[in-house]
Structure 1
Amino acid sequence: MTLLLAAAGVLGVSASGPLIAATLAGGSVTALAIAFWRNALAAVVMAAPVAVREPAQFRRLGRREFMWSAIAGVALAFHFVCFILSLTLTSVAAATALVCLQSGWIAVFSLVRGRKLPATVVVGLGLSFAGVLAITGLDLGGGSRDAALGDVLAVGGGILAALYTMAGGQARRTMSTGTYTAICYGVCAAVVAILAAVTGQRLAGFEPIGWVGILAITVAAQLIGHTAFNHLVATLSPLVVSMIILLEIPGAAILAAVFLHEVLPGGIYGGLAAILAGLAVVVLGQRRSRREPRSQPELGAD
């Protein structure tokens, strides 16, 4: 079940970059509208079954659950703002690669919090990041100021994605997937709506093809992709989940090649193998550490 959810999540988020780029290219849909509708619609879809079958779940939530869900929602909102704007300035490959490096930022946050990284984590991260470099070929910035700004925004999106994943890991300790995602996506949509009002970006009045793009992004990237990972973060560490998300990089490139007829990067297969090898090293290392006495808590947990 875990492998199926991970595969569904990777396929869902892999479609995000190409779908967003194609929708924005239409010219009628604004960046914040995509972020707003994918979260607002997903919040309703995730909240409805809980409200009908077990509405008491929402009433039982305490301050801790609301706090972590709200933190995750705010981080997710600004993550989307950074990522979607980066797609208008730099290439889909560069933006996707940089925003997916959240596993590295989770490791950095753990170091800042005084946690020693196990050797397996360091080796696994190194292998996976080498795979990312093999796929992107260090083709960042694109030689223009706009592309460089897009890369910076994508890096910021990766940092915010790490915060979103870590906060979600805390919330999911005591919350169901449906309850957590309904609140998180709802908070995210509210924050984006405020940002749209402040910046003057419209959230409606688009051409039919624009709404089709928004719906496709909502179903593939939000309901399938993000929700699958929000389910997994209850049983896997935030670091492992964020490393699985690295597979979005080759996934997006393959989907773009199949549906948009883009040329696959030369190092995609070697890069994919390196990312999978790095993920395997981290997962096996964490399983071994759980069987051994340890003085340090597991990476990504309190």
Structure 2
Amino acid sequence: MNVRSSGQPIRLLTALALAVAVCAVSSSGPLIAFAAAPALAVAFWRNGLAAVALTPVAAGPRRGEVRAAIRGSHRRAGVFCLLAGVALAAHFATWMPSVQLGTVATSTALVATQPVWQGLIAAWQGRRPSTASWIGIVLAVAGAAWATGADVGVSGQAVLADVLALAGAIFAAVYTALGEQARAALSTTTYTWICYGVCALLLLAGCLVAGIRLTGYDRDTWAAILALVVGAQLLGHSMFNYALQHTSATTVSVLILLEVPGAALLAWLWLGQSPRSGALPGLALLVAGVAVVILGAARQTRAAPALADESLPT
């Protein structure tokens, strides 16, 4: 029997890949909160080790493509890769500190507004969002305002964490928009290797300027950093890319939102970190709004690769 024509094994493997990917990215926030190391240092090691892991492929089978991106026929795409790496560094430099300053649940939910900002970027570029997308944007913004307002009465640090998470979402949207341009000419591996490398170098410079130590952590912290690299950074990204070959980008985009309750559940079970009750309605409204944005964009374009294909392994 033709396995592909029967469809069942493909659906099973795709569902398994999506389950693994959601679990992998859901672990990101709790692992960052758990790590006894400065957020910028964790961000550097996360991207630096991921770039090292991809180097054998980039320097081997993809060597010609990398050369073309640096000084060959794909130099324009290479420039977009560099710019995307800058945006990715800004994303990690804002979102990862927000996880350590606030709660995993709120920071993860606020950074999940990335598709909202992508919709606004598309509108700025002249691609008018659908009515459903605008409704979703309004709902998501209202939910974010509700959640942040609930933190006003908690502490200034909680509000700062919310602002940093929203900034992280905006930078993630910029990263995705730039990556869309680069991916038109480059493979995922080449694009990702250059982005992670540029991102790691910028984060390293930031750590050196700020005097942040990069070593001397305990064993548990190193284990958390390695889990971030293997799980959220590499495994989650790879599994989502695999799933995109067998299911719609819209499905993947919506399922990525399961990271929000997944991260909150892990933070509660593992770290004893409960979401603030006053913020929960806002977080639910935010996630619902983002889902509406994704579905509205998909209905308008019939496929929304920019909203899913390069979603960050947060």
Deviation at 1:180, TM superposition (A): 1.0
Query: Does the 8 Å CA contact 1:121/1:285 hold for their aligned counterparts?
Result: no
**The 10-residue stretch of structure 1 (198-207 or 244-253) with the greater mean CA deviation from structure 2:** 244-253
Q: Partners of 2:38 and 2:46 in 1: how far apart?
A: 13
Deviation at 1:69, TM superposition (A): 1.0
Matched, 1:36 2:44: yes
Alignment partner, residue 164 of structure 2: 153
- Classify the secondary structure of the residue corresponding to 1:166: helix
Candidates 65, 76, 80, aligned match of 2:92:
80
Candidates 114, 139, 142, aligned match of 2:126:
114
Aligned length, in residue pairs: 288
Query: Does the 8 Å CA contact 2:41/2:214 hold for their aligned counterparts?
Result: yes
Q: Partners of 2:33 and 2:239 in 1: how far apart?
A: 23
- The structure with the largest helix share of the pair is 2
Alignment partner, residue 294 of structure 1: none
CA pair 13-298 structure 1, distance change in 2 beyond 3 A: closer
Deviation at 1:55, TM superposition (A): 2.2
User: Which residues in structure 2 correspond to 1:108-187 (within 5 Å)?
Assistant: 108-125=120-137, 139-141=150-152, 143-187=154-198
- Classify the secondary structure of the residue corresponding to 1:53: coil
Instruction: After superposition, give the CA deviation of every residue in 1:263-297 in whole Å (9 maximum; x if it has no partner).
Output: 47776997699469637733651355x7xxxxxx9
Task: Write the letter of the residue equivalent to 2:300.
Answer: Q
Query: Does the 8 Å CA contact 2:250/2:295 hold for their aligned counterparts?
Result: no
Task: Write the letter of the residue equivalent to 1:46.
Answer: L
**The 10-residue stretch of structure 1 (221-230 or 274-283) with the greater mean CA deviation from structure 2:** 274-283
- Classify the secondary structure of the residue corresponding to 1:139: helix
Deviation at 1:64, TM superposition (A): 1.4
- Classify the secondary structure of the residue corresponding to 2:268: helix
Candidates 9, 13, 28, aligned match of 1:16:
28
- Percent identity of the aligned residues? 41
CA pair 168-126 structure 1, distance change in 2 beyond 3 A: same
Task: Write the letter of the residue equivalent to 1:112.
Answer: W
Matched, 1:224 2:216: no
- Classify the secondary structure of the residue corresponding to 1:140: helix
Matched, 1:255 2:269: no
Instruction: After superposition, give the CA deviation of every residue in 1:57-107 in whole Å (9 maximum; x if it has no partner).
Output: 212322112111111111111111111221232222222122221111111
Q: Considering only aligned residues, what root-mean-square deviation do their CA atoms show, in Å?
A: 3.7
Provide structure 1 residue ranges, at least 5 long, that are not aligned to the other structure.
291-296
Alignment partner, residue 61 of structure 2: 53
Provide structure 2 residue ranges, at least 5 long, that are not aligned to the other structure.
1-12, 308-314
